[in-house]
Chain A
Amino acid sequence: MNKFLDRFFHLSTLSIALLTLLVTGAIFGVLYQEAKPAMDAFGFDFLVNSKWAPNLEKFGAFPAIVGSIMSTALAMALAIPVAIGVAIFLSEIAPAKLKSPVGVSIELLAAIPSVIYGMWGLFYFVPIIRDLFGGLGIGLLTAGIVLAVMVLPFMAAVTRDAMNTTPDILKESAYALGGTKWDVIKDIVIPYAKAGIIGATILALGRAIGETMAVTFVMGNVHKIPSHITDPATSIPVALANEFAEADEGLYFSSLFYLAMVLFIISFAIIAFAKFAFLKRGRA
């Protein structure tokens, strides 16, 4: 009886564990299958074609792909220096009394749902951009900034964790040699934590490129390559969020699945790269 139960428990946990692989495989499979009509119709030209006209049954993903890349790049350019600054502050500069409350509140902010960042962007940030640059206030720049604010807590927390792994003894030796704080940071902490910092950044990038709700509010969903940074634009997740529920069967629908598949492959690749190249967990 015990033997039977033992086998049963082993096999049932195994099959549930395998389920996770199955689901991941099924996501790829189903997206591919649904995207097939669009792939047959447009081939890889889909990726470089910039016309998105549902009424003419003509679809090209170029504006969405460019929008995704540009908004993410903008967000990264803004968030990386600030995140590293926050991380240096938290791990090296802040007095012990401040470290833990500030650190914990940053981690808690990373838990706030992205839809709330999006809402804040729409009500409080869009008017500022509108006043500063004119136009609608909705567009690439706003999306990039909101995205940067959204990934900041996550990025800062992970970067700080990476910096905190530097052994005290290394830092103390450097101080003993007469190094200033900055010497210690640039010659000891950053080189030691380099892989972790780069990994954290790429992981944040992988998340940002697939982020939907923070940017859907403020991007505008216009399928055109923006000629100016404050122009409305679109990105893959924004297009999906806006058009999925209203698309009808056929090529339109299939094109949206094609977009989803491209997004899944891109972010899967980025996250996997961050994990395998930089964030190898110790599995001794």
Chain B
Amino acid sequence: MTHTEKRIFINRFVMILSTLSAAVGIAFLLWILTVLVINGIEAINWNIFAFEGAPPGYEESGLKHALIGQTMLIGVSTLIGVPLGILAGTYLSEYGGLKSKLANIIRDISDIMMSAPSIVIGSFVYAIFVAPFGHFSGWAGIVALSIIMIPIILRTTDDMLQLVPTTLREAAFALGAPKYKVIMQIVLRGAKTGILTGVLLGVARVSGETAPLLFTSFNDNFLNTDLSEPIASLTVTMFNYATSPYEDWQKLGWAAAFILSMFILGLNILGRLLLLTRKKRK
């Protein structure tokens, strides 16, 4: 074999190897997706939206309690996490800037907290919000989810605001606008789409969190809308049902998994589309 032939052979070998590993990776991921869709569609019916949890074996059991609980948990944490995240991100970009030491420390810590184990955040919230009150509560779950959400929103807001051209700010200043007005009416408005994308992705990320809810909002097999009591979430319900030995509960678990993933994928796709339309307009 000549040197050239050898090089061509090695090249071909590596190309095949790499394509194969891509195929293996993608096959695994397709496998999960197929499993999710097939089991999910099979398990979904009207009962799921009409009934609360029931003992195994009952025909009339559903996920109404978990759907409502999940909506409340995610809704309230969004109401807390989004404004706080946006305001903090605004500080980083508009008052801190890229050279401020404080702003950079906050950026670094937020980046780290974005990947920090969420179960640790759950145990932290347990110590300050569950143990002192003596019982699990929806509020504790909301605090945990907000702690996870804030760094995500903060970092995207920061990044998006920095994309707003300085000339826009200067133009507004030149018209005599005070800084807070420039920020609220020019900078934040200019970065609207980008921030919205960040919010969507943040909500999507938090919606799938299970570990921090296990011992904060805990679970409830029945409908509860009182946030000072333990409350059901899709994720914890999914975990409990999937690990139970009852087939009808496992089926409900798949239905919950399917609904949740469709919601999260939908948010992600929506976020991407928003960014695309913004790019097109430019």
Contact present for B209 and A120 (CB under 8 Å) = no
Q: Is B68 on the interface with A (CB-CB < 8 A)?
A: no
Give chain A's interface secondary structure class.
helix
Contact present for A271 and B112 (CB under 8 Å) = yes
Known: A20-B110, A241-B119. A213 touches B154 (CB 8 A): no
Contact present for A85 and B20 (CB under 8 Å) = yes
Contact with B along A170-208 (1 / 0, CB 8 A): 000000000011110100000000000000000100110
CB distance from A268 to the nearest CB of B (A): 6
Contact with A along B254-271 (1 / 0, CB 8 A): 100100110011001100
Partner of B109, one of A24, A84, A245: A24
Contact present for A20 and B215 (CB under 8 Å) = no
A-B contact count (CB 8 A): 261
What are the residues of chain B within 8 A of A219 when measuring CB–CB? Answer: none
What are the residues of chain B within 8 A of A75 when measuring CB–CB? Answer: none
CA–CA, A3 and B230, complex, Å: 46
Q: Is A111 on the interface with B (CB-CB < 8 A)?
A: yes
Contact present for A180 and B210 (CB under 8 Å) = no
Contact with A along B204-238 (1 / 0, CB 8 A): 11011111001100100000000000000001001
Contact present for B22 and A90 (CB under 8 Å) = yes
What are the residues of chain B within 8 A of A81 when measuring CB–CB? Answer: 21
- Considering the complex, give the chain B residue whose CB is closest to the CB of A184: B11
CB distance from B121 to the nearest CB of A (A): 7
Contact present for B214 and A5 (CB under 8 Å) = no
Q: Is B249 on the interface with A (CB-CB < 8 A)?
A: no
Contact present for B15 and A21 (CB under 8 Å) = no
Contact present for B260 and A113 (CB under 8 Å) = yes
What are the residues of chain A within 8 A of B238 when measuring CB–CB? Answer: 115-116, 119
Partner of B211, one of A2, A8, A237, A276: A237
Contact with A along B19-61 (1 / 0, CB 8 A): 1111011101101110110000000000000000000000000
Q: Is A48 on the interface with B (CB-CB < 8 A)?
A: no
Q: Is A23 on the interface with B (CB-CB < 8 A)?
A: yes
Interface residue ranges, B against A (CB under 8 Å): 7-8, 10-11, 14-15, 17-22, 24-26, 28-29, 31-33, 35-36, 84, 87-88, 90-92, 94-96, 98, 102-106, 108-113, 115-124, 126-128, 147, 150-151, 154, 178-181, 183-184, 204-205, 207-211, 214-215, 218, 235, 238-239, 242-243, 250, 253-254, 257, 260-261, 264-265, 268-269, 272
CB distance from B173 to the nearest CB of A (A): 12
Interface residue ranges, A against B (CB under 8 Å): 2-3, 5-6, 8-10, 12-14, 16-21, 23-24, 26-27, 30-31, 33-34, 81-86, 88-90, 93-94, 102, 104-106, 108-109, 111-120, 122-124, 149, 152-153, 156, 180-183, 185, 203, 206-207, 209-213, 216-217, 237, 240-241, 244-245, 256-257, 260, 263-264, 267-268, 271-272, 275-276, 283-284
Contact present for B257 and A213 (CB under 8 Å) = no
Contact present for A257 and B178 (CB under 8 Å) = no
CA–CA, A66 and B116, complex, Å: 20
- Considering the complex, give the chain A residue whose CB is closest to the CB of B128: A30
Contact present for A13 and B150 (CB under 8 Å) = no
Contact present for B25 and A20 (CB under 8 Å) = no
CA–CA, A98 and B96, complex, Å: 42
CA–CA, A118 and B208, complex, Å: 12
Contact present for A86 and B25 (CB under 8 Å) = yes
Known: A89-B19, A102-B26, A182-B10. A17 touches B91 (CB 8 A): yes
- Considering the complex, give the chain A residue whose CB is closest to the CB of B253: A119
- Considering the complex, give the chain B residue whose CB is closest to the CB of A237: B119
What are the residues of chain B within 8 A of A115 when measuring CB–CB? Answer: 208, 210, 235, 238-239, 257
What are the residues of chain A within 8 A of B183 when measuring CB–CB? Answer: 9
Known: A31-B124, A104-B272. A263 touches B253 (CB 8 A): no
Known: A102-B26, A241-B214. A206 touches B119 (CB 8 A): no
Contact present for A111 and B205 (CB under 8 Å) = yes
